[in-house]
Amino acid sequence: MSINFSVIKQRRQQLLNAIKQTYPQKSGLILLFASFEPGRTRFRQDSSFYYYTGLEEPGVVLALDFSGETVLYVPAYGDARTKWVSSDVYTASKENLSAWGIDRIEKLGAACKGYEFSCLFSAQEYEQLIQLIQKNIAQDKTIFTIQPVANQIDQKLILEKLYTFVPGLTKHIQDIAPLVARARRVKSQAEIEALYAAVDCTMSAQEAASQLIKPDKFEYQVQAGIEFIFTESGARAAFPSIVGSGKQGTILHYKTNNNILKKGDLVVVDIGAELDYYCADITRTYPVSGMFTKRQRELYTLVLETQEYIADLAKPGMWLSNKTEPEQSLYHLAKKFLDKTGYGNYFTHGIGHYLGLDVHDVGDYSEPLQEGDVITIEPGIYIPEERLGIRIEDDYWIVKDGVMCLSQELPKEPELIEAMMAGVTDDDGE
Ligand code: GLY
Ligand code: MN
């Protein structure tokens, strides 16, 4: 996907406007930090950094002054970088900086050791940026940045280092995570198209999985077929692929995938491609034998009915979960629906989450749904003593008065699941 930098510049302008409107008494500098290279695994840019810069470069920092001046700070790599990692020191070249909305590029600080820049950087390696921060706080200005959440270890480390290097910084920091989340939550048409591309790839991978599932195969063999499709499409797994058979299907984030598929068991396949940074998240549950038993079909149908019931109710104004408004809360309505049949207690997780640049995307769960949100709806029933886990998950775009299912082409009626496993498609016999 080619990145539309005029859209990205517009996002930064909207962020600046939102900050000015929310904090009219304050002024200063917005700092956005890229992720670092993880060493042995492939680099993945921080989602918010990507949203506001389109840059895939690790270790860099974007400084956006209230005056509008935009400077990209980059690690001062030596020659080893080009030999080991990449011939580009940064994705934006000096020639196209203005198209990217960047006024200049500066070094973060002194020359860094080795060919990678680590989140354990020294004060010298960050010296220039530290001076910029010091200059701002000496003028009683504010540093606006995103306070990381628990699993953003890199981002946490950067801030903790800066607090040590710049005494008094904590008093000048303003968290803009809620403003960023509000912006990222509502998807544009182009973002919906990007999400659909990830969904489409994931649907193909589910179809491949449905045909690979056979008694006596290992779960990881099914995983291999899924991730072959992802890789072949230029995508990667948005999260560790879950292929959980029998009792493993009742472990919500099972990821070892090292058990043998047994005839008579079900297998939960919960997977998502990440394509051009946008994530899908789709779950199907298959009978290993290719045919549901009577009991499995009964519970499968109940989960499917729950999902359909909730998808019919989802629209702007409803909540994903709100215990003070249970009649407007998709989670509580799903639980009540399952409670009526005696299976409510076997539904042991939330009804869904926001989806976007992160698989569990940013978005305030204490606010109702709004037009432009993309969510999952994923009811499930888990009965370990019966070796039975069932989850059905699809991806939905919240529109004016309801939802559009982005993954609706992927079969989910029990008969259609069986037909897909047998390799029978809609076109057969026509
Ligand atoms: N599909 C994994 C999850 O939603 O947590
Ligand atoms: Mn999910």
Render pLDDT for 75-131 as a digit per residue (tens, 0 to 9): 998 887 777 776 554 555 666 788 889 999 999 999 988 888 888 899 999 999 999
Tens digits of per-residue pLDDT, 409-426?
999 999 999 999 999 876
**Ligand 1 close to Cβ of residue 270 (< 6 A):** yes
Confidence (pLDDT) at 92: 55
Distance of CA 187 from the midpoint of ligand 1 (Å): 20
The pair of structure tokens assigned to 58 is 């690790």
The preferred substitution site among 226, 257, 281, 355 for testing ligand 1, maximizing ligand atoms within 8 Å of CB, is: 281
Which ligand 1 atom is nearest residue 270's CA? 1
- Identify whether the C-beta of residue 135 lies closer than 8 Å to the C-beta of residue 143: no
For residue 251, the ligand closest to its alpha carbon is 1
Distance of CA 281 from the midpoint of ligand 1 (Å): 7
Buried b (16+ CB within 10 A) or exposed e, 213-238: beeebebeebbebbbebbeebebebb
Instruction: Please check the confidence at residue 220 and state whether its pLDDT lies above 80.
Output: yes
Which ligand 1 atom is nearest residue 378's CA? 4
Distance of CA 253 from the midpoint of ligand 1 (Å): 7
**Ligand 1 close to Cβ of residue 239 (< 6 A):** yes
Tens digits of per-residue pLDDT, 28-37?
999 999 999 8
CA distances from 372 to 147, 243, 299, 388 (A): 25, 31, 32, 35
Which ligand 1 atom is nearest residue 271's CA? 1
Distance of CA 237 from the midpoint of ligand 1 (Å): 12
Q: Mean pLDDT over residues 348-376, rounded?
A: 97
Which ligand 1 atom is nearest residue 393's CA? 1
Q: Mean pLDDT over residues 315-321, rounded?
A: 98
Query: Where is average pLDDT lowest: 83-97, 276-290, 322-336?
Result: 83-97
Confidence (pLDDT) at 59: 93
Other beta carbons within 10 angstroms of residue 340's beta carbon come to 8
The preferred substitution site among 151, 202, 206, 239 for testing ligand 1, maximizing ligand atoms within 8 Å of CB, is: 239
- Identify whether the C-beta of residue 145 lies closer than 8 Å to the C-beta of residue 176: yes
Q: Mean pLDDT over residues 196-213, rounded?
A: 98
pTM for this model (two decimals): 0.95
Q: Which residues contact 196 (CB under 8 A, 6 or more apart)?
A: 406
Confidence (pLDDT) at 90: 53
Distance of CA 358 from the midpoint of ligand 1 (Å): 11
Confidence (pLDDT) at 91: 56
Distance of CA 283 from the midpoint of ligand 1 (Å): 9
Q: Mean pLDDT over residues 222-237, rounded?
A: 98
Instruction: Please check the confidence at residue 319 and state whether its pLDDT lies above 70.
Output: yes
**Ligand 1 close to Cβ of residue 281 (< 6 A):** yes
**Cα 279 to chain center, whole Å?**
5
In sequence order, what DSSP letters do the residues of 180-208 get, joined into one string? HHHHHHSPPHHHHHHHHHHHHHHHHHHHH
CA distances from 352 to 148, 237, 281 (A): 22, 19, 10
Confidence (pLDDT) at 175: 97
**Residue 54 Ramachandran class (φ > 0 left, ψ -120 to 50 alpha, else beta):** left
In sequence order, what DSSP letters do the residues of 327-375 get, joined into one string? GGBHHHHHHHHHHTTT-GGG--S-S--B-SSSSS----TTS---TT-EE
Query: Where is average pLDDT lowest: 151-155, 194-198, 361-365?
Result: 151-155
Tens digits of per-residue pLDDT, 364-409?
999 999 999 999 999 999 999 999 999 999 999 999 999 999 999 9
**Residue 423 Ramachandran class (φ > 0 left, ψ -120 to 50 alpha, else beta):** left
Percentage of the chain modeled with pLDDT above 70: 96
Distance of CA 275 from the midpoint of ligand 1 (Å): 17
For residue 396, the ligand closest to its alpha carbon is 2
Could you tell me the pLDDT band of residue 429, with boundaries at 50, 70 and 90? very low
Tens digits of per-residue pLDDT, 141-185?
999 999 998 788 888 999 999 999 999 999 999 999 999 999 999
The preferred substitution site among 199, 253, 349, 396 for testing ligand 1, maximizing ligand atoms within 8 Å of CB, is: 253
For residue 375, the ligand closest to its alpha carbon is 2
Confidence (pLDDT) at 93: 60
What spatial distance separates the first Cα and last Cα of the chain, rounded to whole Å? 36
- Identify whether the C-beta of residue 389 lies closer than 8 Å to the C-beta of residue 185: no
Confidence (pLDDT) at 60: 93
Instruction: Please check the confidence at residue 46 and state whether its pLDDT lies above 80.
Output: yes
Of 428 and 276, more confident: 276
Confidence (pLDDT) at 109: 96
Query: Where is average pLDDT lowest: 77-91, 122-136, 215-229, 258-272?
Result: 77-91
| Most distant CA atoms of the chain, gap in Å | 76
Confidence (pLDDT) at 1: 64
Distance of CA 83 from the midpoint of ligand 2 (Å): 40
Instruction: Please check the confidence at residue 362 and state whether its pLDDT lies above 70.
Output: yes
Distance of CA 138 from the midpoint of ligand 1 (Å): 45
d(C-alpha 40, C-alpha 22), whole Å: 41
d(C-alpha 117, C-alpha 298), whole Å: 55
Could you tell me the pLDDT band of residue 430, with boundaries at 50, 70 and 90? very low
Instruction: Please check the confidence at residue 290 and state whether its pLDDT lies above 50.
Output: yes
- Element holding 405 (H helix, E strand): strand 402-405
Average pLDDT, the chain: 94
Instruction: Please check the confidence at residue 21 and state whether its pLDDT lies above 50.
Output: yes
The preferred substitution site among 360, 392, 396 for testing ligand 1, maximizing ligand atoms within 8 Å of CB, is: 360
Confidence (pLDDT) at 18: 98
Instruction: Please check the confidence at residue 19 and state whether its pLDDT lies above 50.
Output: yes
